[in-house]
Amino acid sequence: MGKCLEIAINNNYNHIVLPTERSPRAMLSYSLTQQFFLLKHYNLIENDFIQKIQNAIALLNLEIENIKTEANNIAHSILNKTAVIYSEANFEGVAIRLRQQLNENAKVLCWHHALPEMNHNELVGWAGGNEEKAVIVLRNETDYSRTQTRMNIQKSVIEKYTSTYIECYSKGNSNIERALYFILLGDWVSVYLSELRNVDNIEVKVIDFLKSELAKDN
């Protein structure tokens, strides 16, 4: 039993226990769905998220083979390179998810940034860019029009320094569908890259070591 669960039980706090068979990053579908229901419980959102999640499931089941093919192609393109992930600010959470999956599953360093903020500083830094960098841009047809213009302009700038510039477009009729589409695509990229690098995509011994060392102070 974890400390948080122990506190919840001892104090009779409301809590939800998720399956523990796999790592937390592999259980996102469980934790994310429960968070939606919690938000609805406190009347912060409407019930329409249920249908949107169901639509997302249908979309991903329909697109899974295309997603895996695209993910495999991306993994090959970024192999032995440092991935740089960009998205619109509203989808930065998805970019963070991809960065973290590449970190933990593929055991590689990478970074992310969101537009328009990225255009105010990091774009200048691309003067020091090179072919060792691989750019992945997560795009939606519904992104703010000015941000889409920024993405088109920055492409012309960044491609002067690296030929690996990958634009991924989401599918779906809602932000939930589009976000889950990107999440599944990114997860598969990280799995395929781990296979190309011949590393264990489940193992996180260094985090276990960190936790064990921190526990010594308690």
DSSP, residue by residue, 177-209: HHHHHHHHHHHHHHHHHHHHHT--SS--HHHHH
In a domain, 59, yes or no: no
Of the listed ranges 35-39, 102-106, 173-177, the least confidently predicted one is: 35-39
Whether 160 and 74 share a structural domain: yes
Structural domain boundaries enclosing 126? 66-213
Q: Is the pLDDT of residue 152 over 70?
A: yes
Whether 199 and 149 share a structural domain: yes
> What is the rounded average pLDDT of the residues 142-153?
97
Whether 74 and 104 share a structural domain: yes
> What is the rounded average pLDDT of the residues 27-43?
89
Q: Classify residue 56 as exposed, middle or buried by CB count within 10 Å of its CB (0-12, 13-18, 19+).
A: buried
1 pLDDT band (50/70/90 cuts)? low
Quote the pLDDT of residue 139: 98
Residue range 172-190, pLDDT digits in tens: 999 999 999 999 999 999 9
In a domain, 150, yes or no: yes
188: which residues sit within 8 A by CB, 6+ positions away? Answer: 67, 68, 71, 72
Whether 36 and 82 share a structural domain: no
Task: Read off the CATH number of the domain in which 168 is found.
Answer: 3.40.50.10490
* Per-residue H/E/C for 25-58: HHHHHHHHHHHHHHHHHCCCCCCCHHHHHHHHHH
Q: CB–CB of 88/143 below 8 Å? A: yes
In a domain, 161, yes or no: yes
Quote the pLDDT of residue 14: 85
19 pLDDT band (50/70/90 cuts)? confident
The number of distinct structural domains making up the chain is 2
